[in-house]
Structure 1
Amino acid sequence: MLLRALCVLLCCLAGFAQAEPASSSPHKAYLTLIIDDLGQNLPRDRRVLALPGPVTAAIMPDTPHATEFAREAHRAGKIVILHMPMDPATGPYAWHPELPIEELQKRLNAAFEKVPFTAGINNHMGSRMTAQPAAMAWLMGELQRRHKFFVDSRTSAQTVAAQQAQKIDLASVSRDVFLDDERTEAAIATQLQTAIALAHKQGSAVMIGHPYPQTLAVLERELPRLKAQGIDWIDIRQMISVRSNRAMAGHGKDGVYR
């Protein structure tokens, strides 16, 4: 009887030991990177194309090299998005709350013409504009019609852009971490580690940076080390698929945008 009980116990322990690695295996941690404000300086912007992975190129329409750089980025295999100016941004393409829908559409059409090969858009500035439910609802419907996705840069806590995208199930994601609000290599490296930690915590993180010399220096040094830190660097389309249009904890509750 004692021998039989001992055998049963040993079998149970063996089964537990076999099952343990599967249950304790680490979950996936995904990171995606968008670089904003491109199209102003070709030598500088080409450093972005040379980054070792699927960086998304967000190109401003009112820059001298917008069209040329969009073509270069497309040839380099990068995903191109329109970095759409929104109030308080100014200029011929910028959206402002007082503009009628007809003028918003005219400016959006012109911006898309200036930046070819776009797969989607994100907002440049836009703290006032992205808080306008009617305009954001119209924009999401227009992007749905054009088969393009939306990235909410979340330049304001009052944004309703991602919320309006979610309502019509438009493919979209929201930014989690700005890399370079403070333009020092030390601060940017810290923000990158913040994004990595967040990706491990919630499964994914969306980073936005700019083509500042300090940002590019940190990215050139640190991005090749992501795999060793347990991070899968994926492109923006893959991130949209991973998140399945659900809001992260910092953006809403139970997957629904606030």
Structure 2
Amino acid sequence: MRFSAALALLCCLTGAAHAAPVNHPDAHPKAYLSLIIDDLGQNLPRDRRVLAFPGPVTTAVMPDTPHAAEFAREAHKAGKIVILHMPMDPATGPFAWHPDLPIAELAKRLSAAFKAVPYTSGINNHEGSLMTAQPEAMAWLMAELQQRHKFFVDSRTSARTVAAAQAQKIGLASVSRDVFLDNVRTEQAITRQLETAIKHAKKFGSVVMIGHPYPQTLAVLERELPTLKAQGIDWIDIKQMIGVRSNQAMAAHGKDGVYR
């Protein structure tokens, strides 16, 4: 009996040892991921595929699209976070911001864009490589968003962006993009970018991805998103991600949590 009991205990301990996870020294104890899909509002049947994603996707709706208001209402009804995908230079159109515009005109265009896209919780920039490098305009924008109780996502379309830095200076709820999924529009390339995002989340603790409603992107995400949990990834919404990061810059975007 004693031998049997000892053997059983030894087997249990051996099994437990084999079952214990082995953490890589570079692995982060938590791995969070947030997903934003840009350029929505142009094509309802296509864009509705985004609403069927099995998790808290953030829908970034362009104000100068034919279905902006309708899609924003559908996304809100589906429980998805809606943000304004604000056109900025070199983007064009009636809402677009340009460096030569006075603040009064920027304010007018921003208000019109918010009216075009209902139920918004925040904003991110569409293009904007020139505009997000303008300290005065970005400082004004962050103060305006704070008054409107909106958060900001820096799409980081340029290494010269000062947008997130201006948000951080006044304590505006904000976060920055880490990985673009589909600069190259092939399923193979998009899959590789998603794999890169997952590795980033596991190494640094979190990742913010931005993609677009391209057929190739939608196909990859529809196939791969249901596997995230099995890969140890906790898919959270963008508001939760802002809480996770506490407005601090990731290593790629700044130093000691401060945006460059």
* TM-score by shorter chain over 0.5: yes
Deviation at 1:192, TM superposition (A): 0.2
What is the count of residue pairs matched by the alignment? Answer: 241
- Counterpart Cα distance in 1 of 2:188 and 2:157: 23
Q: How does 1:1-258 map to 2 (within 5 A)?
A: 27-258=29-260
Identity of aligned residues (%): 80
For residues 203-252 of structure 1, the C-alpha deviation after alignment (integer angstroms, 9 at most, x for no partner) is 00000000000000000000000011110000000000000000001100
For residues 181-200 of structure 1, the C-alpha deviation after alignment (integer angstroms, 9 at most, x for no partner) is 00000000000000000000
For residues 57-101 of structure 1, the C-alpha deviation after alignment (integer angstroms, 9 at most, x for no partner) is 000000000000000000000000000000000000000000000
One-letter amino acid matched to 2:156: R
Gaps of 5+ in 1: 1-16
One-letter amino acid matched to 1:161: A
- Counterpart Cα distance in 2 of 1:28 and 1:222: 20
Deviation at 1:26, TM superposition (A): 6.0
TM-score by length of 2: 0.90
1:227–1:87 Cα change, 3 Å? same
- Counterpart Cα distance in 2 of 1:39 and 1:131: 27
- Counterpart Cα distance in 2 of 1:28 and 1:221: 23
Which secondary structure does the structure 1 equivalent of 2:36 belong to? strand
One-letter amino acid matched to 2:40: L
Contact 2:37–2:211 (8 Å) recurs in 1: yes
For residues 27-71 of structure 1, the C-alpha deviation after alignment (integer angstroms, 9 at most, x for no partner) is 010000000000000000000001110000000000000000000
- Counterpart Cα distance in 1 of 2:152 and 2:219: 28
- Counterpart Cα distance in 2 of 1:222 and 1:23: 25
Which secondary structure does the structure 1 equivalent of 2:139 belong to? helix
TM-score by length of 1: 0.91
State the match for 1:7 in structure 2. Answer: none
Deviation at 1:127, TM superposition (A): 0.3
Gaps of 5+ in 2: 1-15
Deviation at 1:22, TM superposition (A): 10
